[in-house]
Structure 1
Amino acid sequence: MDANAPREDNAGGWTQFGDKPPTAGSFTRPGPVLPPPPPPRRAGFVLSRKAIAGLALAAVTALTAAALGGGAVGAYVAEGARPASTVTTNVASPVFRTASGQLTVAQVAEKVQPSVVMIQGQNAEGSGVVLSEDGLILTNNHVVAGQGDQLTVKFSDGKTAKASVVGTDPATDLAVIRAADVSGLAKATLGDSDQLKVGDDVLAIGSPLGLDGTVTSGIISALDRTVTAGGGNQDQQLPPGWGRQGQSAETTTLGGMIQTDAAINPGNSGGALVNAAGELVGINSAVAADGVNLGFAIPVNTAKQVSEQLISKGKVSHAFLGVSVTDATGDVPGALIRQVTAGSPAEKAGLKQGDLITKIGDTPVQGGDTVVGQVRGFKVGQQVEVTYQRDGKTSTVTVTMQEKK
């Protein structure tokens, strides 16, 4: 992706649903576990201007993960081709300590596994999380995109059902599907991703490499990461079952992502990241390539806001700032405004071409992707403070987000 190309930011405007669940604590670290299965064949690499050399991108949709405090690393969407066999792995039995008592890791896994499904399409597969007893399932957009009506859901008890798409939102890489003719499903308990802290223990549950019901353990490694998805090139080689060679992907930027070292592999996309109480805190979406154990999940608070709109309306309303930005090139990090849209919230707040945005909301801006990713987390009508520099002077304005038309 050309880092200097203008990018129009937009974001989802959402409403929350459900009660806020209790927060969870942590557990004692587990002992050694068996090594993971061999990785799939990976594609050639596509790196952003700031990328660390040698990290491959491999998927129908490529990803680069840009830490707010540093450069980008290569990553790929955790969606995969299907092997013939299916097994379930589990971790040992350290203890999760929560405010309401103690659960072993095995107990948490046993609680959550029935709420996580495998999703199979025409040429790829991933995972999903059950939202309702009658078959609503949350997953990634890139898991179901291009799969048509050929979706099949496999549940933890081995039963399968055909599924159809309820709605998709490429801007947040989320989708909701509905499994047909099912009832009494075990729906996930939704947590509160705003309560997560670096170091909290988590489990990732999904179907990496087609191995449904796989459980891996780790911690929250970092919060509020910005991940840029897409930008596949003409030479990208795709593993078998992932689509034709040279397929490119539309670029989208996701802000506020959760980083974890819980093992995430192709096929985990759309699966569950859960806390010590077995509450869903994230939707696993991407992982760094070439053995770099960095996985990324969409926060559940974003996912539940988006999924509510997809279920009720089939689409999502996105907020609009109205600037095209590029990375700053001087000594001060930030996002340089290349263009301001007439009549936009940015223009109404007094932002101009050439201004350097250094902070948006509570987040320091390291580049254009930070602005784009953060705006996607704002709601229509939300007031956000934007700090910028103009002619060497620092100022702050309040911007009221409008709905993107």
Structure 2
Amino acid sequence: MLSQSFRQWGLYTGLIVIGCGMGVASHAYWTQGQLNATLKSYEEFYGSDALLNNPRDGSVNFIAQAVQEVGSAVVRIDATKDLYSQDMSSPLFKRFFDQDIPSLEPDIEQGTGSGFILSSDGQLITNAHVVEGSSTVKVTLKDGQVFSGKVIGVDELTDIAVIKIEATDLPTAKLGNAESLIPGEWAIAIGNPLGFDNTVTIGIISALDRPSAQVGIPDKRVRFIQTDAAINPGNSGGPLLNVRGEVIGLNTAIRTDAQGLGFAIPIETAQRIAEQLFAKGEADHPYLGIRMLTLDGEGKERAKEYFSDSIGDVGNEHGVLVVGVVDDSPAAIADLREGDIIRKVGDRVVHTAIEVQEAVENSVIGQVLLVEVKREDKTEVLKVRPTNFPVNY
């Protein structure tokens, strides 16, 4: 049956390329061996006819099957915020208008995004920017049911928010695993882009571990999944799926200056933050208070250009260079210094600034975190007690 699937795959791929454009064209660079192996794995999971649409016997391809797995758990979120929020009854207004307060209509801004259901009793997840400025939102299910949703918590650093609706026996999304992803795997996005509800797009996992600064949102603390599945305004908060219909990411960002570039928050990060938001209304983000530079080729050149006077030669070094320490921060209190080269955080050997950030993010606020550094020609082990990330950092 695999040979039959492969013979018809050429026609199927051609139709997909025509329908989705550049999002799938990159698959043409796979070798035949890679394609055969991938097709075989899909057939083992979905059955020998999974790659074919056959309206005569009702079978559908793996994309449609994946969408069927989670589609009913994807919701539309409509949020409104009052841009004119002054208290018209305040003494300041009465004094300014000499008791004759004008009648002003509030300036309402409305936005639409996506989300998906985590629990059958109405716990939902979306992006923070989807619900920004709103305490309640309108949640519309795929079957047309409409609910008033309460925004339980918002985490700006990861752009994640959680919502609760009063309902029972809701369909839920099955969560997968983003840690085992490899570039080139299929990626399926579902959402409500530009007001077109329940839209499905397909592409591949283009890259992993994209730092937020590279994505264009340096104020976030996320390592993004990059995909070429079309993600447009309104997709934010919707799920990114693998071929099994499991959620591997939360669609969250697009680059306005490019095509074929979309980004998603790994599901492990989204789930961890969501659990904290539902439990206490906020999320913890352990903080050391250092600026870092990875000592790869580019990093060494930057270090020589900008920091040579204060840190010396780093030409033969490796690890993560500390290029700044915030005053009165946990790092300063623990005596981390500019010029230290971080080699280990906790039990984890680190090679990049992203790895340091990830190790710190997985630490516990207030508990000792051991940080091993090279200082001049000696190895030092410092005891740092992370605090929560400062609001006005």
Q: TM-score range by the shorter chain?
A: 0.5 to 0.7
- Does 1 or 2 have the higher relative contact order (CA < 8 Å, sep 6+)? 1
Q: CA deviation at 1:330?
A: 2.9
What's the counterpart of residue 227 of structure 1?
A: 212
Counterpart selection for 1:154 from 137, 140, 145: 140
What's the counterpart of residue 379 of structure 1?
A: 363
Q: CA deviation at 1:160?
A: 1.6
SS in 2 for 1:254: coil
Distance 1:258 1:133, change over 3 A: same
Q: CA deviation at 1:342?
A: 4.2
The equivalences for 1:195-344 within 5 A come to 195-228=180-213, 252-325=219-292, 329-330=302-303, 336-342=322-328, 344=330
Q: Counterparts of 1:260 and 1:396 in 2: how far apart (Å)? A: 41
Counterpart selection for 1:171 from 124, 147, 157: 157
Q: Counterparts of 2:362 and 2:331 in 1: how far apart (Å)? A: 13
SS in 2 for 1:194: coil
Contact 1:340 1:347 survives alignment (8 Å): no
Q: CA offsets per residue over residues 260-282 of structure 1, 9 Å max, x none?
A: 11111111111001112111111
Is 1:97 aligned to 2:42, yes or no? yes
Distance 1:386 1:291, change over 3 A: same
The equivalences for 1:385-396 within 5 A come to 390=375
Q: CA offsets per residue over residues 255-303 of structure 1, 9 Å max, x none?
A: 3211111111111111001112111111011122234312111111111
Identity %: 36
Distance 1:284 1:330, change over 3 A: same
Contact 1:116 1:129 survives alignment (8 Å): yes
What's the counterpart of residue 108 of structure 1?
A: 66
TM-score, normalised relative to structure 2: 0.65
TM-score, normalised relative to structure 1: 0.63
Note the residue ranges of structure 1 that are not aligned, 5 or more in a row: 1-27, 38-93, 233-250
SS in 1 for 2:220: strand
Is 1:185 aligned to 2:175, yes or no? no
SS in 1 for 2:200: strand
2:286 partner amino acid: A
What's the counterpart of residue 404 of structure 1?
A: 388
Q: What is the RMSD computed on CA atoms of the aligned residues? A: 3.5
Distance 1:226 1:218, change over 3 A: same
1:271 partner amino acid: G
Contact 2:368 2:386 survives alignment (8 Å): no
Give the structure with the larger strand fraction.
1
Q: CA deviation at 1:136?
A: 1.0
SS in 2 for 1:307: helix
Aligned residues: 297
Distance 1:289 1:343, change over 3 A: closer
Note the residue ranges of structure 2 that are not aligned, 5 or more in a row: 1-8, 22-38, 51-61, 81-109, 305-313
Q: CA offsets per residue over residues 217-264 of structure 1, 9 Å max, x none?
A: 1121111111139999xxxxxxxxxxxxxxxxxx62233211111111
Q: CA offsets per residue over residues 380-399 of structure 1, 9 Å max, x none?
A: 168878676655x6968576
Q: Counterparts of 1:36 and 1:217 in 2: how far apart (Å)? A: 7
Q: CA deviation at 1:337?
A: 2.7
1:402 partner amino acid: P
Counterpart selection for 1:135 from 106, 122, 125: 122
